[in-house]
Structure 1
Amino acid sequence: MDFAFDALTEDLIGRLTEFMDTCVYPAEPVFAEQMAAAADPWTAPPVIEELKTQARKRGLWNLFLPGEHGAGLTNLQYAPLAEISGRSPTLAPSAMNCAAPDTGNMEVLAMFGTERQREQWLRPLLDGEIRSAFAMTEPDVASSDARNIATSITRDGDSYVINGRKWYISGALNPNCRIFIVMGKTSPDAEPYRQHSQILVPRDTPGITIKRGMMVFGYTDGSHGGHAEVIFDNVRVPAENMIAEEGAGFAIAQARLGPGRIHHCMRSIGMAERAVELMCRRTLSRTAFGKPIAEQGVVQDWIAEARVRIEQLRLLVLKTAWLMDTVGNRGAHTEIQAIKIATPATVEWILDKAIQAHGGGGVSQDFPLAQMWAHMRTLRLADGPDEVHKRSLARRELRKYTIQPAS
């Protein structure tokens, strides 16, 4: 495993670092001011579009997507770039058209969409002209077991009719959200992992109701359109909107969630790095009990532990990226689960110590730490909760030692 960055990656790192220093970090207070003054908390403020223009000028666009539709980078090439963008998680990914849920939706359309579906929806998403949402999680069932998803997708002639209730549907409140990818049940009598399908539902289809915006620890997310509770009441779409085929919903979800999980982890390391930087600067600049806070033993323990944990995480994420590139997502399944378990919990710990080191400022809006912490705590639920990944990982480990019955 050679984790040395090639010339293209080094060039992109340089361009992205310059973009962050010149454009993104200075835009953070502007974003906060525009959000505070906005009549609609779910609309991305003007500074996002300005950043997108600057990112495209620098060739920092669709870096997440491999192959002909995106920048063509491998996971290993994208890893350090996603980490850098994670230092400003609200602004940088959106500015580079590398923000969820659009990233996963673009991956689905690129892998499974028909030519018509790609032309109608993938192309404008790649160009940053529209936004999208992925409607999977439901409030009435334990969605940690995706087999419980109950939204119905029923064939009726040359159409499908969708009925159900979803929540925490990221991006759905953005006025520029034009398309949902909805996961629901098409074949209740099929075997469990062939019961569900995914289908394209235009945002303006009759029968869709955005019931409310969902906050996360009191935060709204104006960078991409928040999180919504959505009602689908006899929503009718053409049969040609089905993605791939009936019963392919789980296979599509797994293909979508693998890259999504590692992208979250890559960005999370960037948050941890920024938290350590802020913690060091803060504790060096403040004095308590006659000496800089940075000289207190407990604070030095936090800083040392944070550095060790970041380096461990980065190596595990890079190994996972390398495996995904060399043996595919299925071959890297164990490592994908491992990083999804380890990264959010570890970065949450680092953010907690950085918040503590900042005192009252740490929980205020004057620093990005509190919002990062809310994001990281949520990530322990998103794309599968910790416990589900641990259950699966433990079963995979136990199978190595299961005694096979004699034939």
Structure 2
Amino acid sequence: MNEFIATFFSLDNIIITTIIPFLFVLTVVVFVHEMGHYLVGRWCGIGVREFSIGFGPELFGFNDRKGTRWKLSAVPLGGYVKFVGDMSVTSDPSSQAANEALSPQERRESFHLQPVWKRAATVFAGPLFNFLLAIAVFSVMFSIYGRYVSEPTVAEVRAESPAEAAGFQPGDRFVSVNGRGVSTFGDVQRMVSGRAGDPLVFVMMRGEDEVTLTATPEIVEQTDALGNTIRVGVIGVVNNDELGQPRHLTFNPLESVSEAVKETAFIIVRTGQFLQRFAVGREDRCQLGGPVKIADMAGRAASLGFEWLVQLVALLSVGIGFLNLLPIPPLDGGHLVFYGIEAAAGRPVSERVMEMIYRIGLLLVLAFMVFVFWNDLFGC
């Protein structure tokens, strides 16, 4: 028995080192997402029948005083909030048969009988809360650890690099990249890293003069802090301590929130760029992963410390929020498209059209899930 306990709790045990960190990360992200739906829905006067973390059979749960069933289900790969009268995305608010089955109280609290703005706000709240979670995490990280930065200067130009071909010289100072101003060398790296193969326009200070150079980042493979092999764009310039003058910045609470908002916005933009480039075959498919890859990253993050695991929560939260806003049923973004059309036309989209679009969207989502599972297990 003692040997079994020692083995179970050893650092090499997959339950302790991988599965528990994975469940922690996923549960926090899913809980916050669904809590967004729940809180805004209740604020809009919509009744809630169930709040579930996970799918499938219920493991345990309880009913609160308002009649909502809070439960943990057997398959921990998501969750849901079931509202009163929320039959499906294709439910017709004018359906007489469906409405007659509801009591007067249920009609007042029914999701599909609410004004379109209340339904849209409730649906949008899930991704919004994911973004707010990331902002909260980054705010704490910046307030505790601050940020190391260096001046956006060029100390060295690599031979045979895009920068050398474009005419960069040691001593140049970055002013802007593609029209966006930069203040640190890290800003330049972040703007360049996701744009491999895209010609970028750099405005540089060379002595007292401004010069404009165009360079196309090339792809290189790097290893990130969690040990993942990633492919990023570089132009081939190097910073150093003499010209970069590295320093540590600290932030007060308000400054930390401001930095966190910028960080979250950058991740959202970078995610959009990646998916856009991926759709046209310009990104490596192995950069996408599903639950297995997330579990592996969670285990590696946990081995580095709790703060790394929390940062992974923030990154995953932004990704989940962004993906849920894609205009594809049954994702939140697909619902919002239907509500937008309803608001513009003054009436819901026909049930037949919604059903057809919903089936197509569901196939796309399932195909994407199969793709990332294949990447996880066999593809990369």
Q: Which has the larger radius of gyration?
A: 2
| Same topology, TM > 0.5 | no
TM-score of the two chains, using structure 1 as the length reference = 0.27
Whose strand fraction is larger, Structure 1's or Structure 2's?
2
TM-score of the two chains, using structure 2 as the length reference = 0.28
Higher relative contact order (CA 8 A, sep 6+): 2
